[in-house]
Amino acid sequence: MKKFTSTDTYIATPDLELAVNAAMSLEKPLLIKGEPGTGKTLLAEEIAKSINTEIIKWHIKSTTKAQQGLYEYDAITRLRDSQLGDSRIQDISNYIVKGKLWEAFESKEKVVLLIDEIDKADIEFPNDLLLELDKMEFFVYETKENIIAKNRPIVIITSNNEKELPDAFLRRCIFHYINFPEREVMEKIVNVHFPKIKKKLVSEALDVFFELREIPGLKKNPSTSELIDWIKLLLSDDIPKDILHERDENKAIPPLHGALIKNEQDVQLLERLRFMLRRGK
Amino acid sequence: MLIEFFLTLKKSGIKTTLKELLDLIKALQLGVIKFKTEDFYYLSRSIMVKDEKFYDRFDRAFSIFFNGISDLDLEFLKNEIPEEWLRKQFEKTLSKEEKDKIQSLNDLEELMKKFMETFNEQRKRHEGGNKWIGTGGTSPYGAYGSNPFGIRIGQDGNRNFSAAKVWDKRKFINLDDDVEIGTRNIKVVLKKLRKFSRIDGQDELDVGETIRKTANNGGFVDIRLKPERKNQVKVLLFFDVGGSMDPYIKLCEELFSAAKYEFKNMEYFYFHNFVYEGVWKNNERREDVVYLDEIINKYGSDYKIIFVGDASMGIYEITHVNGSIEHYNEKPGELYFKRIKNHFDRLVWLNPIPKEDWEYVQSIDYTRYLTENKMYNFTIDGVNQAVKFLSK
């Protein structure tokens, strides 16, 4: 099978590459954790792209039930149909709505199945999917049929660490924690997104960015995706070349900070810092 | 070989099972990696470790294992392994001066004794700021093996290698549970608090589920209930301020002010060193005293009480009339504390001082006794336990 490597649109560190390849060879789900904005969701898309297959996304919300990923029995439509005397009502399979997992199991070729933000769901949610993910099969009670995956999909699961996942579930996964990228990796990431960008701008932007991340007490540290957005803004806004350079005056607040800092209190904190810096002079 | 590796991981407290070992072997058979130790490190980590907080422990265990030394016990060493080899292994872990020092010793027993001494000496010398040795007491590696090497790993772990190895960099140290709370960790703790704030609640009618079940039943009404997901938890927080707590107070405030929106009913109070007849609502305006009687009258016994403080003071500040260093207290502090303790059902004390040191400070030990052993470390793990107790 094709191995997963960094692409020209996505930079994967060697350890991440290995984890993905191990998960693909062992045919086990890959659980990805990491700070928000480090490219967890993007990874699934890139894997799909690199092995040239479809991706099926299942976004989890706090109300999502495991059963919804398999199938749902639409009893209400059936009840209504029975009142109207519709003949469809005779066949219960008319009212079985397929879920994302079923979709992935049914697919003719190997697909990537993304279960996004699994920690948002109820605590029991992962447990309810144990067998389904392990054996890649499940049973439909209403129609008494057993659904078995034709091709075991590559399952990518992301988590933001809001809840702890049960041990039994973890046992069945390959795990990878995306650490916040170091400067060299970050430079590569920026280059991938903006191939024509000037080196100087990148290095200055990264200076500002990492400085910002080092300020203690920020509620939300800017992450990779925010950096990319910010550089996009810098480029499109056509700001004067040396604005990043002349940071002395407004050192604490970078230009177009709205893309980097998403929290009112953080902006206030930076403003206070700037005020103190000025007064200090 | 892999079994040995697996056991080393197990001993270092990583929860891994046979199933994962088999997975690792399978992955090796499938040829996921070529013959690079670094690749093996990444591969085994992603298969055996399922939580980033164990990454650091894994790094340490990996380092121990790949330095060719596993923690065998002393008897086993003496009986099974040629002395010559053993001596070399020990010497490997010693510095040049230390080597010279022990050159004169012939007997293996003596050598080992000396080795232990050096190790003890080292521990004393290094203990200061290095938290990772401080956890030695609970270290899972057994009596002899890992601690000396534990010291070594951080200090000059790459001595036996030409270049620094990934696992010796210990990048994930602040993700470990036992480490004190940092900014990242605070977020995780908050999520724990949220969890417990949602457990409480009463049943309410689940309209959607009732309709569905009724439809399934072919029209017979089947009433379904579900627990209400309201925030029912009420919390009173008492912060120790000033003096020895100064380094921690920002941490505390950060932690709980962010938690504020999680709790509908949450109040802050401040005190200095120990509670007496009154506490302050606002640390800057200390003249606004809230008397303990008011608190006990106003808040029901179902409020959860969290004290945050280092409980480090003169013991008389707790036990004596006029013990307070700030004012004249008519009754000893412990009496006031007991009144709080008796009124409320659940009370915990979070202490930022490392647990290992508690028994050496009389006032901490006594406060712990007063809380009926419900004092917890101000670490992720400690807060976790405290939350567990509170939500019982």
The first and second tokens of residue B128, run together, are 């200061």
For residues A216 and B183, is the Cβ–Cβ distance under 8 A?
yes
Q: Which residues of A touch B30 (CB under 8 A)?
A: 25-26
Query: Mean pLDDT for chain B?
Result: 69
Confidence of residue A31 (pLDDT cuts 50, 70, 90): very high
Interface residue of A171, A178, A214, A218 to substitute, partner B, most B CBs within 10 Å: A171
Cβ distance A25 to B195 less than 8 Å, yes or no, reads no
Confidence of residue B74 (pLDDT cuts 50, 70, 90): very low
Confidence of residue B92 (pLDDT cuts 50, 70, 90): low
Amino acid B138: pLDDT: 33
The beta strands (E) that lie in chain A are given as 30-34, 55-59, 71-73, 96-98, 112-116, 137-140, 145-148, 154-159, 174-178
- pLDDT of B326 strictly over 90: no
Distance CA B229, CA A225 (A): 33
In this complex, how many residue pairs, one in chain A and one in chain B, have their CB atoms less than 8 Å apart? 76
Distance CA B120, CA B117 (A): 5
Query: Could you tell me the pTM of the whole model?
Result: 0.59
Q: Is A162 on the interface with B (CB under 8 A)?
A: yes
Q: Which residues of B touch A219 (CB under 8 A)?
A: 258
Distance CA B224, CA B220 (A): 13
Q: Is A89 on the interface with B (CB under 8 A)?
A: no
Task: Answer with the residue of higher pLDDT: B234 or A18.
Answer: A18
Confidence of residue A55 (pLDDT cuts 50, 70, 90): very high
Cβ distance A22 to B52 less than 8 Å, yes or no, reads no
How far are the Cα atoms of A215, A226, A249 from residue A203, in angstroms, in the given order?
A: 19, 16, 19
Cβ distance A170 to B51 less than 8 Å, yes or no, reads yes
- pLDDT of B328 strictly over 50: yes
Task: Answer with the residue of higher pLDDT: A168 or B253.
Answer: A168
Arithmetic mean of pLDDT, B224-247: 72
Amino acid B180: pLDDT: 47
Considering only CA atoms, which of B268, B257, B270 is closest in space to residue B190?
A: B257
For residues A180 and A134, is the Cβ–Cβ distance under 8 A?
no
Of A26, A217, A219, the CB nearest to B26: A26
Summarize pLDDT for A207-262 with one digit per residue, the tens. 888 888 877 667 777 888 888 888 887 777 666 666 665 555 555 567 777 777 77
Within 10 angstroms of residue B80's Cβ, the number of other Cβ atoms is 9
> If you measure CA to CA, which chain B residue comes closest to A30?
B46
Q: Is the dihedral of CA B85, B88, B92, B98 positive or negative?
A: positive
Q: Is B191 on the interface with A (CB under 8 A)?
A: yes
Q: Is A194 on the interface with B (CB under 8 A)?
A: no
Q: Measured at the alpha carbon of residue A176, what is the angle toward residues B181 and B147, in degrees to the nearest 5? A: 55
Q: Measured at the alpha carbon of residue B31, what is the angle toward residues A20 and A132, in degrees to the nearest 5? A: 50
